[in-house]
Structure 1
Amino acid sequence: MPLAFATDTDAAIPIHVIDADKADSAIPAAAKAWAATHGFKGGLGKVLTVPGADGQIAMALVGYGTAAKRARGRFHMGTAAARLPKGVYRIAAGLNDADLEEAALAWLLAGYSFDRYRKPKDPIAALVPPEGIDAERIATIANGEALTRDLINTPASDMGPDELEEAVRALTADHDATLNVITGDDLIPANFPMIHTVGRASTRAPRLLDMRWGETGPQLTLVGKGVCFDTGGLNIKPGGSMGLMKKDMGGAATVLGLAHMIMGLNLPIRLRVLIPAVENSIDGNAFRPQDILTSRKGLTVEINNTDAEGRLVLADALTLSDEDDPDLVISMATLTGAARVAVGPDLSPFFTDNDAHAAAIAAGGAQVADPVWRMPFHDPYEAMIEPGIADLDNAPKGGFAGCITAALFLRRFVESPYVHFDIYGWQPKAAPARPAGGVGMGARAVLAALPKLLSL
């Protein structure tokens, strides 16, 4: 079911959000004795319901902790949403306007559960949308995030290139967009040689998904890595490294979630979404180390590791993205382990040569609690991706600056203004409003930044 706010608002239970630094004055007088009896002092994530004369819940106190504690995380209201008894609630006091939007989004996201393969969990308490927020916008963003999570969480047995195409078709129909698909051997005459090469060893045909929406405004093209499962190819991954490879289409899942937000909010842009959807498998026709591939752009690539396949399929899609002169191209991919080593699983590293774009994305991420971190397109490392026998090396030796060299590789295929995100797409441990499993990263930061990125 879609994530949604409560519509029955008449009997909503008031919530008082209590800053631990101001607990003495913030706890309502009618609840002070009850709070003291239960030792409630506004600790972060603590919840206390206060009964009325009839024994029913008259109000709820939600601990908001100290400013220092809050700064160490986000979506704190998601914890309260999961802990409160069932019912309908409204935020009555304790949050300023800047915090209400995050709190409302946190509440909706706390209601997300991936139940495709098990008995559905009971729904959490419902929230009346706080006054002063755009409830429809928040719900649209939450459901875009839910789409991303669902796609990543679905195992490869049920989320191959066929099923990813079905998901894009459903999104296309929901928003009256258009979709063009090039599949299997048709990729060869259409000049997508590297998408075909990476996916040809699988029994599930590779394809390029090309969705368009909007008739006027600046053009934004989103390119998402859609490797539905990655064995590593002939450079096969060890079992421990293959265990999470259902999430290797996390870039595609994230751009689809972002596309849902953009279209659902009816932003005044022309949107294009390109997803090279493949499975990197092993068979007699699998591509090999030392093979040299010719890309759509004409650049040749020496294959020094078949497990560095994401940049190959993205390269052909990025070349296509350039061909109708977009105002901005953004790629998202679960591309390198080096990015995780650099910033961990919670930050979304991104690359751009444009300082104004970088500032807009950083500001957007801070505004909507979607943390990002700019990484450098470090030109001196260009030599590391030039093998000598071909134009480019898909897996430079040495192991240094892996996320930077991968980003530099992709930049070779784009002439338009370009931003690249190397995301993780996975929540290793449960956190407020983010259960362990697939998670969107960077999409809300980009959404918040779009007015500046595209001069809307």
Structure 2
Amino acid sequence: MTALLPAADAAAAIPIWCVEAGGWPALAASLAETLPAPAAAFARATGFTAKPGSHCLLPDAGGGLAGVLFGIDPAGDRFAPAKLADLLPEGAYRFAAPPPDPALAALGWRLSAYRFGRYRDRPVPGARLVAPEGVDAAEIGRIADAVAAGRDLVNTPANDLGPGEIETAARSLAERWGAACAVVSGEDLARGFPMIAAVGRASERAPRLIDLTWGDAAAPKVTLVGKGVAFDTGGLDIKPSAAMLLMKKDMAGAAAALAAAEMVMGAGLRLRLRVLVPAVENAISGSAFRPGDVLRSRRGLSVEIGNTDAEGRLILADALALADEESPDLVIDFATLTGAARVALGPDLPALFTQDDALAAAMAEAGQAVNDPVWRLPLWAPYASLLDSKIADINHVSGGSFAGAITAALFLRRFAPQAGAHAHLDLYGWNPGTKPGRPEGGEVQTARLVYELLKRRYA
């Protein structure tokens, strides 16, 4: 993605007027006095009314581009002006009449310019935006670069991104920011993290637990846990082919955790950050774990396997148990976990689960502030009985069709009892279609939200 242009380029940049429908008549009269006559006449002739999302290219007397009109809804998507990044001709542009949130509009512009070009050339749009006045262009650049790196991971197909490549990405991130990165695999993984080892043992690509740490050991401890299933066949409870097509994105939780970590480290927040990524492939072979198996977890609980396609909560549970051993102030896990959350909230709105009302409110507020929203769903304690097992301490699925996202969250809650606060984010990790700031493809949902939350707490 191209960076925002410096403010010094504003004088030569083509102006963009963002205008509400109600304010268009007054602006039209004002522009008639300042624009070349052909441009003002053209706006009138086209019948432009500032309908949200509409735009009008205004010509100058020589046939060039004198400016751009763009209709906005102040209560609508604050990334909306970023739609222009894909629509405008190559050149430099500036907000002459800015949108309500210039910083988010500028970030959305950067995010709209993302292209996944690993396998074929996909040129980025040539329309570049001058950093709006008062906007921290460096901060926007750090956030956009972290999002792009996470999107690249989610978009990469599983033949080129397995557990080892997720490890490589984490090690590269650690090296860039002076963090430590340790990896547990092989017999050490089987002894210390038996559920991670069991889920990943059927694949030729070995499972592992990635453990990245950064910051002052004496600072508040924040741990991010990201589900890193490089590909999910469903295991012996195999998915139908249609449900398997997008399963390269089943590591989007890991990508979101790494993207949030890059934002935190880039900003130098005053905290001790830890990122745990259990990285596996849920494959099928003679060594695959089975429905009805009982696995011993790191925390010591015995877990009956109700469905091998609910593997994400198993690997997260072992990672959460490790996180919990040092009683961190805050644990947040990211996972593409349940179809039930998507049925309830759709692809654009991740589900948030936490017992901490203050944390829930802070996360919802941070998400709204940075246009990275979540919606809280209840940790309804009576549903915990749906996870009862006749032969083990707990079953990892309810076995029924009700409250699937809630029972998954209730299962995970059992593995982080000592943390000061724990939030579970059940996300989709994919944009089904292109919207301003959100190109179709992999997405690190909630990464910007979590960064904003931590920035507010620890900047």
Q: Give TM-score, length-normalised by structure 1.
A: 0.95
Letter in 1 for 2:249: K
CA distance in 2, matches of 1:176, 1:222: 18
Contact 1:48 1:61 (8 Å CA) reproduced: yes
- Gaps of at least 5 residues in structure 2 are none
CA distance in 1, matches of 2:289, 2:315: 13
Alignment of 1:208-287 (within 5 A): 208-215=209-216, 216-287=218-289
Segment of structure 1 superposing worse, 39-48 or 224-233: 39-48
Alignment of 1:215-364 (within 5 A): 215=216, 216-364=218-366
The alpha-carbon deviation at position 86 of structure 1 amounts to 0.6
Alignment of 1:27-66 (within 5 A): 27=28, 28-29=31-32, 30=35, 31-64=39-72, 66=73
- Backbone CA RMSD of aligned residues: 1.5
Could you tell me which residue of structure 2 aligns to residue 431 of structure 1? Answer: 435
Letter in 1 for 2:371: A
Contact 2:234 2:309 (8 Å CA) reproduced: yes
Contact 1:19 1:26 (8 Å CA) reproduced: no
CA distance in 2, matches of 1:146, 1:124: 18
Alignment of 1:8-407 (within 5 A): 9=9, 10-27=11-28, 28-29=31-32, 30=35, 31-64=39-72, 66-67=73-74, 71=76, 73-96=77-100, 99-189=101-191, 191-215=192-216, 216-407=218-409
CA distance in 2, matches of 1:348, 1:440: 11
Secondary structure of 2:22 counterpart? helix
Q: Percent identity?
A: 52
Secondary structure of 2:229 counterpart? strand
The alpha-carbon deviation at position 54 of structure 1 amounts to 4.0
Secondary structure of 2:140 counterpart? helix
Contact 2:114 2:124 (8 Å CA) reproduced: no
Contact 1:227 1:278 (8 Å CA) reproduced: yes
Letter in 1 for 2:105: A
CA distance in 2, matches of 1:240, 1:53: 55
CA distance in 1, matches of 2:389, 2:314: 16
Contact 1:352 1:418 (8 Å CA) reproduced: yes
Contact 1:3 1:139 (8 Å CA) reproduced: no
Q: Give TM-score, length-normalised by structure 2.
A: 0.94
- Gaps of at least 5 residues in structure 1 are none
The alpha-carbon deviation at position 455 of structure 1 amounts to 6.0
CA distance in 2, matches of 1:451, 1:368: 12
Contact 1:47 1:83 (8 Å CA) reproduced: no
The alpha-carbon deviation at position 35 of structure 1 amounts to 0.6
CA distance 1:100–1:120, change in 2 (3 Å):
same
CA distance in 2, matches of 1:74, 1:41: 20
The alpha-carbon deviation at position 347 of structure 1 amounts to 0.5
Letter in 1 for 2:92: V
Contact 2:86 2:125 (8 Å CA) reproduced: no
Secondary structure of 1:90 counterpart? strand
Contact 2:270 2:458 (8 Å CA) reproduced: no
State the number of aligned residues.
447
CA distance in 1, matches of 2:265, 2:226: 17
